[in-house]
Amino acid sequence: KKPINRISMAIAMLFVSLAIHAQRFVNTSLEGAQSVCAITQDSDGMIWLGTDNGLYSYDGYHGYRHFQEHTFSNTRVNALGFEGRMLYLATGNGILKFDTQSYQYAETPAMKAFADEAKRKQLKELRVLDIKVVRLTSVAMSMPCSLLREACS
């Protein structure tokens, strides 16, 4: 009885090891990004990555950068959220809105409010706690009420 159990166990281990060996993982790097801070996926299957150096997309084969140098778009992205085809990015400099079909950034009221350097310095960091309240809800703790009203109007 014991030799049959050992043979059965050996056969089972062989099949398990073959199944594990058959799985392959490819590590993909994103040029210019050191860490991924947020991940989401759109209805077409594209994976969107918020990194320490802006927005990237990944189609399963290649990673693509979606930012311009010397703009808010190459800043750390803390959170991502979709509303239709628009992707909202919560960054250390405010909210950015990215059109995932035209691959263009669109201006948001929050971007206009923080165009002034003095106002932007008052914003320490933005984190989205709920995509339904993506319009600066979590900024209220680190920003005066007058700036919050102006940013959301």
Question: Rounded to an integer, what distance in angstroms lies between the CA atom of residue 31 and that of residue 34?
Answer: 8
Beta bridge partners of 65: 56
The pLDDT, as a whole number, for residue 11 is 81
Please name the residues in contact with 101: beta carbons below 8 A apart, sequence gap of 6 or more.
Answer: 85
Which domain covers residue 77, as residue numbers?
2-152
The Cα 130–Cα 16 span in angstroms is 42
- Tokens 């159990």 belong to 5
Question: pTM value?
Answer: 0.60
Q: Which among 104, 103, 116 is positioned nearest to 147, based on CA atoms?
A: 116
Residue 81: CATH number of its domain: 2.40.10.500
Distance of CA 67 to the CA centre of its chain: 13
Quote the radius of gyration of the chain (alpha carbons, Å).
Answer: 22
**Calpha distance 57→66 (Å, rounded):** 8
Q: What is the pLDDT along the chain (153 residues), one digit of tens a residue?
A: 556 677 788 888 777 766 555 556 567 778 878 888 899 999 999 999 998 888 999 998 888 998 876 566 668 888 898 888 889 888 877 778 899 999 988 767 666 655 566 555 555 555 555 544 444 433 433 334 344 444 443
pLDDT at residue 8 in the model? 80
Count of structural domains within the chain: 1
Nearest CA among 96, 65, 61, 63 for reference residue 78: 96
